[in-house]
Amino acid sequence: MPEGPEIWRAARKVGAAIEGRSADRVELHFDELRRFERKLTGQTVDEVRPRGKAMLIRFANGLHLYSHNQLYGRWYVTKAGKTPNTTRSLRVAIHNDAQSAWLYSASDVAVLGANELDDHPFLRKLGPDVLDTTVTAEDVVERLRSPTFARRRLTALLLDQGFLCGLGNYLRTEILFVARVTPESRPCDLDDATVEDVARACLELSRRSLRTGGVTNDPDRARALKDAGWTRSKYRHFAFSRAGQSCHLCGETIERIEAGSRRLYVCPGCQTIGRR
């Protein structure tokens, strides 16, 4: 499933194609949404905004196109008159005189008025966006120490969009690795310095992934490994999807475990804080 950095990059790409332009034609390939095609066609696209793992496209008449890519959704941008080369199922298309934005394979799409955003079942539950630059490490520490979240295992908490929206499975592995904490750790079991490390890792790794196109590994190390001929899948992360390979830091073998029915990767040599 695309995580916050991937949706933010998609929003920037889509925004560059359609923001500030009239939507000459809008296609909504859901029976319950077709009535909105006429209401959106001819309207200027005022803003394309990511919200965690969702995207909101605001039109000049106040309507918002909400989409969540879930597992398989993907946005494409083409020049006007060109169609993406894909076998996926088209869900949404927004065309102007220069470019088109296409959403394929997503099943969670809605058209909402401004007064409906706060009541949307996904949007209303979201916590602060991990990629919002106004969110600080101190804000995250406060949430980690709050009664709502302090007694929950980090493996579950880091996937809870009500805690910080935009985090997902690969970021969860990388945050736990960089903070050096064990998967079963809870914020209430950790000292202040470690909680601050977790908070900083949440923000820094998410924002690094946004900058680098998905690379969470130390930038200098990733660059050196790439120059040495390593494939992207090998140098991209500290631990995620590296089961059986040597840790970049300590040399121990990365292990794969299951946490919340999702794969998680752990270094037994580095992640010792909170071990019982």
Domain residue ranges in the chain: 4-125, 137-266
- Does the pLDDT value for residue 275 go beyond 90? no
Under 8 Å between Cβ of 115 and 126: no
Q: Name the active-site residue from 9, 53, 58, 143.
A: 53
- 4-125 folds as N-terminal domain of MutM-like DNA repair proteins (3.20.190)
| Mean pLDDT of all residues in 22-48 | 97
Under 8 Å between Cβ of 2 and 80: no
In Å, what is the CA distance from 28 to each residue of 50, 145, 207, 260?
A: 20, 43, 32, 34
Q: How far apart are CA 83 and CA 68, in angstroms?
A: 22
Instruction: Note the pLDDT of residue 276.
Output: 65
Q: How many CB atoms lie within 10 A of CB 2?
A: 20
- Does the pLDDT value for residue 51 go beyond 70? yes
Q: Rounded to two decimals, what is the model's pTM?
A: 0.94
Instruction: Note the pLDDT of residue 194.
Output: 97
Q: Name the active-site residue from 2, 128, 183, 187.
A: 2
Instruction: Note the pLDDT of residue 1.
Output: 66
Instruction: Note the pLDDT of residue 261.
Output: 85
Q: What is the pLDDT of residues 55-105, one digit of tens each?
A: 999 999 999 999 999 888 999 999 999 999 999 999 999 999 999 999 999
Q: Does domain 137-266 have CATH number 1.10.8.50?
A: yes
Q: What is the pLDDT of residues 228-268, one digit of tens each?
A: 999 999 999 999 999 999 999 999 999 999 988 899 999 99
- Does the pLDDT value for residue 274 go beyond 90? no
Instruction: Note the pLDDT of residue 2.
Output: 82
CA 93 from centre of chain: 22
262 is known as an active-site residue: yes
Q: Name the active-site residue from 13, 221, 262, 263.
A: 262
Q: What is the pLDDT of residues 112-167, one digit of tens each?
A: 999 999 999 999 999 999 999 999 999 999 999 999 999 999 999 999 999 999 99
3 is known as an active-site residue: yes
